[in-house]
Amino acid sequence: MTGRRAAATVCAVIAVLAGCGSPPPEPPEMPSPQDLAAKVTIDAMRIHLQRFSEIAQDHDGNRADGTAGYEASVDYVVELLRDKGFEVDTPELQRLDTVSPGRPTLIVGARTFQVDQASLLLPTPAGGTTGRVFAPRVAAGCSARDYPAAVKGGIAVVDDTKCSVVDKHDAAADRGAAALVVISAGGRNGSPPGLFPRGYYEQMAIPVAVAGEEAGAALRRTSTPARVVLDAKNVKVRSRNVVAQTKTGATTDIVLVGAHLDSVAAGPGINDNASGVAAVLETALQLGSQPSVTNAVRFAFWGAEEKNLAGSADYVYGLSRDELNSLALYLNFDMLGSPNAGYFTYDGDQSARADAEGVPIGSEGIERTLASYLNLAGKRPADLPLSQRTDYQSFLAAGMPVGGMTTGADGRKTTVQARLWGGEAGVAFDPNYHTARDDLEAINEDALAVMGSGVAFAVATYATSIEGVNGVPERAKRHRRALGP
């Protein structure tokens, strides 16, 4: 066989196995923030909003978590992402829904105290549980050995230190207590870390109440039986998040971007928050599943935001410290088409609060990135103080840089803001907030056009690089806190 024929034969074999003679396709260029922003158009986002509106119309006027309308919303997002080549997960979560809040109380002598029902799935019998009050020898009550022998049928009273409410419950139940009252001051800083571990209420065999210091003092003084009435009724509800990630980019510096997918039961939730979903979803579709990016992008669509942020909280609680450290930052987008729109960035540098506590390093850079975009788009940005009302809350608690934009909810636009952005002073940014009027016709498309492109701008910026003056800490300098067990 001649050299020429041998080479031709080898090439033919390789061609079959690996496409010899055909150079591999060039990977797509890294999308610039401006280019990706231009691809997320109001026309495209309107299509998503129309579909969510139709879903609500077909399902009792809403897309609330735990309903068929929510499940149809999940299916719509999942189908579009899979068609674009994403591998999509829909991890299940379980949350509680309050059927009746009741009036949980503690009665000591002639005094009645409001309490919280910690045994969420276990109320007291009708009329409450009455018994003598017992305090363990060790105030925390973490072990059955801390109690005297004769506790059977009584009400055990412990403080909130040293162990979880599950340990306190188990010790009291082991000694035969009929109910447990945990004294916890609560207040600004809440209960001590670890007092209420994830899913603690699943393990309750006797009713458990949480009471304040004043009630605790009354219990310690009394020599007569006390009565605990825990009559709140809760049920378990299953839900799903939707999570998809690019197949390219570093998985040690993942850019996580999210929006909540559920509405309230009162309405279709088109601004709150189909608008944020439309922007994040269209950004994912335009970026694609295999973009030429430096850092991987993970897109999340949260369930149960309107139910105590349960979807995002469950997600964060399920991440280990190493998994949390692999997330470079979290971008959150909630309500981007308010009728009386403002143009807010989350206050990552805390400049709007003189008494502000620190937030994770890097949050201030995210704010600057988004504020720069809004300035370039001709909308002067304003700070919106960080709060406990939306899905970045658990990420903040884990020590992760966060940022995002919103056009406002039920707060009222000031005269200065009306001069700055137009609209009507003295009126809520979204007068339809959490009502049936939050529909497709009420969407401010001009605002959504600006904010939707801003989502893409931010995603492309950090998918390209997390470095620079507006960057976030590199992985070696991240010290996240795992919130789960």
Per-residue confidence (pLDDT) for residue 307, from 0 to 100: 94
The proportion of the chain whose per-residue pLDDT surpasses 90, expressed as a percent, equals 85
Fold of 33-98+238-477: Aminopeptidase (3.40.630)
Per-residue confidence (pLDDT) for residue 357, from 0 to 100: 63
Strand pairing partners for 259?
Answer: 301
Per-residue confidence (pLDDT) for residue 388, from 0 to 100: 83
What positions carry a catalytic annotation?
Answer: 305
Per-residue confidence (pLDDT) for residue 31, from 0 to 100: 82
Domain ranges in the chain?
33-98+238-477, 102-231
Give pLDDT tens digits for 82-124: 999 999 999 999 999 999 999 999 999 999 999 999 999 999 9
Let me know if 221 is exposed, middle or buried by CB neighbors in 10 A (0-12, 13-18, 19+): exposed
Distance CA 53, CA 84 (A): 23
Per-residue confidence (pLDDT) for residue 5, from 0 to 100: 40
Tally the C-alpha atoms within 13 A of residue 272's C-alpha that lie toward its C-beta: 29
Q: Report residues of the chain scoring pLDDT below 70.
A: 1-28, 186-190, 352-357
Identify the CATH number of the domain defined by range 102-231: 3.50.30.30
Residue given tokens 């401010």 in the structure block:
444
Bridge-based pairing of strands 129-131 and 382-384 is unpaired
Per-residue confidence (pLDDT) for residue 343, from 0 to 100: 98
Give pLDDT tens digits for 435-470: 999 999 999 999 999 999 999 999 999 999 999 999
DSSP codes joined into one string, 255-296:
EEEEEE--B-TTS--IIIIIIHHHHHHHHHHHH-SS---SEE
SS (H, E, C) 306-346: CCCCHHHHHHHHCCCHHHHHCEEEEEEECCCCCCCCCCEEE
Q: Which pTM value belongs to this model?
A: 0.84
